[in-house]
Structure formats: structure tokens, C-alpha cells
A and B are shown apart, each in its own frame.
Chain A
Amino acid sequence: MELQTDSKLERVLKSGHMAVTSECGPPRSNDPEAIITKADLIKDHVDSINITDNQTSVTRVCSLAACIHVKQMGLDPVLQMVVRDRNRIALQSDLLGAATFGINNVLCLSGDHQSFGDSPSAQNVFDIDSMQLLQTVRLMRDEGKFLSGDEIKKPPRMFVGAAANPFADPFAIRIPRLAKKINCGAEFIQTQCIYNIPKFERWMEGVRERGLHKKVFIIAGITPMRSLGMAKYMRRAVPGMDVPEELIARLEGVEKHKQSEEGIAFAIETIQRLKEIEGVAGFHIMAIEWEQKVPEIVEQSGLYPRPVID
């Protein structure tokens, strides 16, 4: 497959390997070491590292600056961009800025509503939506144009991704929504955390029925549970999350100090099962503030060593 960018993630996926990505949340202070330390923990076990963009609407170091730190470590960052906080001028400007630092991946997202974060009284922007951001990145890259139609002499070259939640409602458009994102330009998909494997398998059946797995790389989202409390919280309070009763029961069934171990074991089992599903192109391991566990998960899932591709 022809490469469109200098992205390592694109190279890994297009050479037929299962990709492994992970993510780091930037710090809430003027502390570059925090991001560098996190990236350092996972760098040998992943192909690319997502940097979140003021996730849960809590103000942090911006995704772009954190990506630059990761890039300067010789790694391949994925710039997450939400359309909540910036209009089309700022989004296009940040895409260009990122490209000047050799940031080669972007993940286009809506962003959590500001009511969840540290500034519930903030205005939200939503000048364009995440699908339109996908179109924007592709327009800039493929046609060398701004949304205004003005020419970009040296276009940014980004490998473009989007999120998908196989568990979100409305049910009737779960597959059409993915098709629409692909139609808007998504080249890879990182999914919501998967705990309900049968439901994810049904979603993938729908994906294959429409041949969408041949048009986009689907990277399955994995977040290990650290405790029973976390599992219960995610089930109760995190929008669009599907945590089945069996997983809760399984964590309840072990002693408290062994729950994190059990959570890791479940994550590894999930990866091993999902690896067998046609159309799953890789794994996105989101170990939230638990990055040190990523190497162990990757190794025990048989995804290590990571491929070296020139």
C-alpha cells in the first residue's frame, strides 16, 4: 500500500503488522518532564503515542506542545484534536504548526463536553464537527488547500484518524457512523475501551458486512481495570462505556490487592481474543495514569517486540 505520510503508525499498519498505540495525558503544570517520563515508560513497546487534548475538559499542557516533546524523543506522536475549544482558523493553524515539527498523525475528535471539566462555565466552540475536521485535514493534505480555498504551498502531511464507539447509541447508525467517518477521510480508527467482547464482535461483523475493514485500520481500545472501584465507576459514570456484569463479578471474586492483577489479566485475554477477529488491525492501550503497565500487557499479549520498518 502506498504511504501518504512519514507516519510510523501508517508504515506499521500498511506493512501488515498489528499496530500498538498508547496514550499519555499531558500534565497540569509547566513540567515537560512529566510527559517525557510517561513516554519513556512505553516507548519501546508501542509504535505511536497519542497525546490527549485537554481530556475530560480539564485544562492541561496543550496536545501540540506535548507532541513536540514526544517527537523530540524520536518517537511518533498522534496529535489528538478536539473541536470543542478551537474554531477552523485555530484548528488549521495548529495542524500546520504540528506539521512544521514533523508530527505525522492526527486523531479528530469532538471532545468531552466542558461541563465535565474544570471550567463548566466556559463557552464551547464547535465551529466544525469531528467529521468535518477529518475532511479539513484531508483537504489540506491531499488538495493543498485551506477551507477558504486558498492554496497551501507546502501542505501538512498527516495520517488521519478518528474515534469510534462500538457501544454507543443510537444502535441503528453504529455502522453507518463509521462509514461516514471513512467517507470523510479517516484512515485509522481507535475505538472506545472494549470490555463487552461479544458486543464488539457483533459490531465487527457489521463492519465486515460493509467491507469497511478494508477501507480503514481498526485499532481496538484496551484499558486495564486497576480496581473494582474503577470498573464500577466506569460502568456508572463514564458516558458511552459498556462494562459487563461478568467483569465486575470477576473483580469482586478476587482479594482487593489482587484486583489490579486481575484487571491486567483481563486486558491481555481481551487482546488475545480480539487478535483473532478479522478486521482488527491493532490495539490502542490506554492505561490511564498507569503507563508502567503497558510493557507488561504488550509483552504478554504476544505483541512484543515491535516491528522495525525502514
Chain B
Amino acid sequence: MIVGEQKPFDEIWEMVKEHTKVTVFGCNTCVAVCHQGGSKEAETMASLLRMRAIQEEVDIEFVNSGIERQCEHEFFEGVRDLLEKSEVVLSLACGIGVQFMATKYPSTPIYPALNTTFLGDVMKKGVFTEKCQACGDCVLGKTGGVCPVSRCCKRLFNGPCGGSSNGKCEISKDIDCAWQLVVDRLEALGKLDDYEKVSPIKDWSKDRAGGPRSFKLEEF
């Protein structure tokens, strides 16, 4: 799923403070799982903004709402009226939702309340960790199911750098060395010899480097 984190409150306030009517709009899929961008968080955000407006003695109306997903047309049916009449929307979706709405409502400012941080999992309650960079050419089949692109700080394809120590990365004791994890998995799978197979130079044209990506289902 896509993980996001709310921006600093002052940064959000700076974006909306010149407006008179702000729709604070949640997205109830990915960013709701990490308790940053769902309708519940939109409600809290609207309350905080109302309090700030009172403190600053400015007259801004904050309305809060939300939908299942801000990145697909069909979910917008029930809120068409609200959004068409909004002067400005503060979206608590990821960057995808923000852009989807900006395209859908070309003359309405859509501000991001979140920083979209990564594609990750819920390792345990309240702990989210990055697992994928959508590089467009998955190598997990060769690396024991551990992604060197997203989990090695140097995205090395042929083994660890010299900084791997006691299972941790040279840059922080809080980061596991991805290649320690790869090697552990290969050992567990009885495939440690596979480590010596050289991974070829990657085709980054399938990644962000090749420009914005899209794909189309012919049957639609």
C-alpha cells in the first residue's frame, strides 16, 4: 500500500489561510490504514484548522468529508456537489489522489495535507516499512524475496557494500542490511550458491528514469 505522513501543521496552515471555505477531504484506502489520511483524520484536521483560524482571528469555514479512493472516478459520485462548490480542497490522499482531483477539478486549488512517503507494509501495529520502489522490473525471484532496490541504501544488485555490520546498514543501526536479509533467505532456501550469479546491469528505462509510466487494458 501507499504510505503517507501528515505534513507539519504550519505548512498546511500556510496553504489554506488565505481562503474562506476549505473542504478537508479524506481518502479511506491506503493512507487511512496508516491513520494519516482517512475521513477520521480529515475530521480531526478540520477541527485543528478551525481552532487555528479562531486563534489567528480569520474567518474560514472548514467542511470535512471523504471517499473510499481519490484516484478513481466512480467513488466521486456521492460528493459531486460538495466538491463542485468547494473554493479549495485540502486533500489527505497520497500524491496520486491530489493529482487525480486536480485533473478532475481544473479550476479548484487542491492542496496536499500529506507527504507521500513510500510503498510499504504494516510490519506490526503502527509500524510501516518501505518494501518497493516500483522500479518496473522485479528481481525478487533472484534475491530470495528481499528487494535490493528499495531496501539497500545503495540499491546494490550483487551483494552488500563493505558497511554491512551485524545485520545492520552502515547508515543506521535502525536499518537492516538488505543483503544480510537476502543472504539469510538464500541460505534458508538452500540456494546460497546463487549469490555468485552476477546480476546484470539494470534497465532503468522501466523505472522513473524512463519517464511517466502507464499501461492500458485493451479489453476496455
Contact = CB atoms under 8 A, between A and B. Distances in A.
A43 to B, nearest CB: 28
Given A168-B163, A240-B162, A240-B165, A128 B201 contact: yes
A179 interface: yes
A234 B142 CA distance: 35
A168 B204 CA distance: 29
Interface in A162-208: 163-165, 168-170, 172-173, 176-177, 179-180, 183-184, 192
Contact of B196 (A165, A176, A192, A240): A176
Interface string A144-168: 0001000000000000000111001
A170 B156 contact: no
A179 B196 contact: yes
Interface string A89-133: 000000000000000000000111101100000001011111110
A180 B198 contact: yes
Interface in B160-187: 160-167, 170-171, 177, 179-180, 183-184, 187
Interface residues of A, number: 36
Contact of B164 (A168, A179, A183): A168
B160 A170 contact: yes
Given A169-B160, A172-B183, A124 B154 contact: yes
Contacts of B166: 169
B171 A168 contact: no
B183 A240 contact: no
Task: Tell me whether chain B's interface is mostly helix, strand or loop, or mixed.
Answer: loop
B192 A110 contact: no
Contacts of B204: 127
B195 interface: yes
B120 interface: no
A192 B202 CA distance: 28
A168 B162 contact: yes
Given A113-B170, A131-B159, A132-B158, A169 B164 contact: yes
B162 A192 contact: yes
A113 B155 CA distance: 11
Contacts of B76: none
Contacts of A240: 162-165, 170
Contacts of A84: 154
A106 B201 CA distance: 19
A172 B187 contact: yes
Given A115-B171, A169-B166, A180 B195 contact: yes
A88 interface: yes
Given A169-B180, A176-B195, A180-B196, A239 B159 contact: no
B201 A170 contact: no
Contacts of A173: 159-160, 183, 192, 195
Contacts of A110: 154, 156, 161-162
B198 A113 contact: no
B153 interface: yes
Contacts of A130: 156, 158, 161
A21 interface: no
B148 to A, nearest CB: 9
A7 interface: no
Given A110-B161, A169-B166, A132 B201 contact: yes
Most A CB contacts (10 A, CB to CB) among B161, B162, B187, B198 go to B162
Given A169-B160, A169-B177, 6 more contacts: A110-B161, A113-B154, A126-B156, A132-B200, A173-B160, A239-B163
17 contacts: A84-B154, A113-B170, A130-B156, A130-B158, A131-B158, A135-B201, A168-B164, A169-B165, A169-B166, A170-B177, A170-B183, A179-B196, A180-B159, A180-B195, A180-B196, A183-B196, A240-B165
